[in-house]
């Protein structure tokens, strides 16, 4: 059994509110580690920053410190050049993809951001890279993660800027039986559905929660605290638990 934590949509912007929300989630996760629990990885699934500014990435680098191995990917509020300049010291506009190999699990973090746009897309370069990583890993479970959900969630605006999930993306999942599921962020609302006949899990937002139309005309649900997901991968099955903190 492997347990993977996921946080998403942190939107660092220099404000105490967003910083305190991130700290509250990390404190909770770190308290489980201190108690001897084994969280194998922490996924940060995009929108680290609000405007993709260098100062916001410097803030994120200061705050996002953990004894848990961190896998970071980018969202529509992020900027590839500013992120890589902070992380690597050299700016790059190439897709930011990464892999984490755990005992019995391969996590592939794919860059669905499109520079200058809010919707999402997985480039041919990214998909070819993911296929090569899966082939090289052999017979192990694979968890795919990117920022934009590849299906509509019943949230009209967020659905208008979801992933362009064309046949290449569907085939990436369907062609590999060892893919246990896909986990994303972007919607600021915890959700569970299906994509390409596999589980699709959308993490809560840390910075805020967005309402469904049935919850009223307000865009942001101010009553909700920061949230995160805990993914349990066991016997080729993905089970997800959501947590929303009541204070931060």
Range of the domain at 208: 2-244
Q: What is the mean pLDDT of residues 199-205?
A: 98
Q: Comparing 56-60, 97-101, 135-139, which segment has the lowest mean pLDDT? A: 135-139
Residue 36: the pLDDT is: 62
Q: What is the mean pLDDT of residues 179-198?
A: 98
Residue 31 CB coordination number (10 Å): 10
Torsion of CA 39, 69, 103, 184, to 10 degrees: 80
Residue 231: the pLDDT is: 98
Residue 35: the pLDDT is: 66
pLDDT at residue 127 above 90?
yes
Q: What is the mean pLDDT of residues 179-193?
A: 98
Q: What is the mean pLDDT of residues 161-173?
A: 97
Q: pLDDT tens across 7-16, in order?
A: 999 999 999 9
Q: What is the mean pLDDT of residues 103-129?
A: 97
Residue 32 pLDDT grade (very low, low, confident, very high; cuts 50, 70, 90): confident
Element (H, E) at 50: none
Q: pLDDT tens across 47-78, in order?
A: 999 999 999 999 999 999 999 999 999 999 99
Q: What is the mean pLDDT of residues 210-230?
A: 95
With a CB cutoff of 8 Å and minimum separation 6, the contacts of 132 are none
Q: What is the mean pLDDT of residues 220-238?
A: 95
Q: At what angle do helices 124-137 and 167-174 cross, to 10 degrees?
A: 10
Calpha distance 114→52 (Å, rounded): 13
Calpha distance 8→205 (Å, rounded): 5
Q: What is the CATH number of the domain that holds 53?
A: 3.60.21.10
- Number of domains present in the structure of the chain: 1
């Amino acid at each position: 059994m492997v347990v993977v934590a996921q946080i998403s949509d942190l939107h660092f912007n220099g404000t105490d509110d967003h910083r305190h929300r991130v700290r509250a989630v990390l404190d909770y996760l770190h308290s489980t580690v201190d108690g001897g629990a084994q969280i194998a990885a922490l996924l940060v699934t995009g929108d680290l920053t609000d405007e993709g500014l260098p100062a916001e990435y410097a803030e994120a680098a200061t705050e996002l410190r953990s004894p848990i191995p961190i896998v970071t990917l980018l969202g529509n509020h992020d900027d590839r050049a500013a992120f890589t300049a902070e992380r690597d010291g050299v700016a790059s506009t190439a897709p930011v993809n990464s892999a984490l190999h755990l005992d019995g699990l391969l996590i592939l973090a794919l860059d669905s951001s499109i520079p200058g746009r809010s919707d999402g897309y997985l480039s041919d370069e990214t998909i070819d890279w993911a296929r090569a990583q899966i082939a090289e890993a052999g017979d192990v479970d694979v968890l795919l993660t990117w920022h934009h959900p590849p299906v509509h969630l019943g949230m009209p605006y967020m659905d208008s800027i979801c992933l362009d999930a064309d046949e290449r993306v569907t085939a990436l999942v369907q062609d590999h039986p060892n893919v246990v599921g896909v986990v994303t962020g972007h919607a600021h609302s915890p959700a569970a559905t299906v994509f390409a006949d596999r589980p699709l899990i959308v993490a809560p937002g840390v910075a805020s929660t967005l309402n469904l139309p049935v919850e009223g005309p307000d865009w942001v649900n101010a009553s909700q605290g920061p949230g995160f997901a805990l993914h349990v991968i066991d016997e080729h099955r993905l089970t997800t638990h959501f947590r929303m903190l009541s204070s931060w």
